[in-house]
Amino acid sequence: MQQAKEFRIDIGDVELAVVEWPGEGDPVLLLHATGFHSRCWQEVVKRLPGQHVYAVDLRFHGASGTAGEVDWKLLAQDIRILIEQLDLNRLVGVGHSIGGHLIARAAAALPSRFKQLVLIDPVILSPETYASLHDFVGDIAASDHPVSRRKNRWLDACEMYERFSAKPPFDSWDPRVLRDYCDYALHPADEEGVRQLLCDPMNEACVYLSQAGNEIVHAELPDISTPVTLLRAPPGEMNALDLSSSPTWPDLAAALPRAREILLPHLNHFIPMQDPALVADYIRDAQLDTWQYDESVEAAL
């Protein structure tokens, strides 16, 4: 794997941490899921040798800043500004979970900058689910959300890895991805030798609770003119205690102008963590334009 470069980019009110793997060809931008960070993509990047790849820590995650209120609109704006600041063109945008939601909205706002999208079980919910969330979030504080009570005092990454390796959903992951997650998930040790999560559990809980109000994404879907590959796990019910279920609206592919859907019944929501080689294959297809949406086929159907 090419040597990674780390840098920070000022997008106005906060700095975002970026990892870049220099290489050839059209650039790839990788956006991670809620609670994770850019280095969770390393096993995918290893399978894209020689390609020019960027991965960013979302605001409130990893080494990026934490200014402002947790708001998906703000996170989507961050990605649009980042793409413009880096002047990325013919971009292959890849997002997992919330990352899929955010890269889709960036593609709707900046269509001329994108070549293809790979959306991996994106958190783009059904209209009915968005409607029900308004009532749900009105009755719960971030401190009451189960995610806010995640263990947040660790000796080191090894303790974290040992705890998670036998615990769902992490026990379904490729162990190398879990190792990368743990190795880059913690702050330096404090005076007591305790290391806390870079993504504070309260911020993570706020991300989940702030999904309400994002139904605006449905109005933006028709503006995504680039071909989209949608990788989906089997449908599942939203459950704060089971984050392995797919949150993706089953009708999402039909709502996109140029999309193909790949259902992966043997995997769960954590597709890039379970099978990084499969994800790399679809990214490579997008870079090479191996798949292009054929409107004549759609018309025939």
pLDDT reported for residue 290: 84
Across the 301 residues of the chain, what is the mean pLDDT of every consecutive 10-residue run? 91 96 96 98 97 98 95 96 98 98 98 98 94 74 88 96 95 97 97 95 93 92 97 77 82 97 96 98 93 59 38
Cα 12 to chain center, whole Å?
A: 22
Q: What pLDDT, on the 0 to 100 scale, is given for residue 300?
A: 38
Residue 144, pLDDT score: 86
Strand ranges across the sheet with 228-232 = 5-10, 15-21, 51-56, 24-31, 91-96, 114-120, 228-232, 259-263
pLDDT value at residue 239? 59
All structural domains of the chain: 5-300 (3.40.50.1820)
Contacts by 138-142, CB closer than 8 A, 24 or more apart: 140/209, 142/202, 142/205, 142/206, 142/209
What are the C-alpha distances in Å from 221 to residues 95, 187, 296? 15, 37, 21
Distances (CA, A) of 113 to 83, 98, 103, 279: 8, 20, 12, 22
pLDDT at res. 299: 42
| CA-based radius of gyration for the chain | 18
Q: Running DSSP on this structure, what letter comes out for residue 14?
A: S
Per-residue model confidence (pLDDT) at position 235: 85
CA 297, CA 141: separation in Å to the nearest integer? 48
| Global pTM value | 0.95
pLDDT score, position 2 = 77
Cα–Cα distances (Å) from 263 to 18, 142, 260, 278, in that order, read 30, 33, 10, 13
Pairing of strands 51-56, 114-120: unpaired
Among 67, 11, 4, 7, smallest CA distance to 41 is for 4
Half-sphere exposure of 90 (CA within 13 A, CB side): 8
pLDDT score of 291: 80
pLDDT attached to residue 212: 84
Residue 297: per-residue pLDDT? 47
Q: The tokens 């990047």 sit on which residue?
A: 45
**How is residue 227 written in tokens?**
């071909």
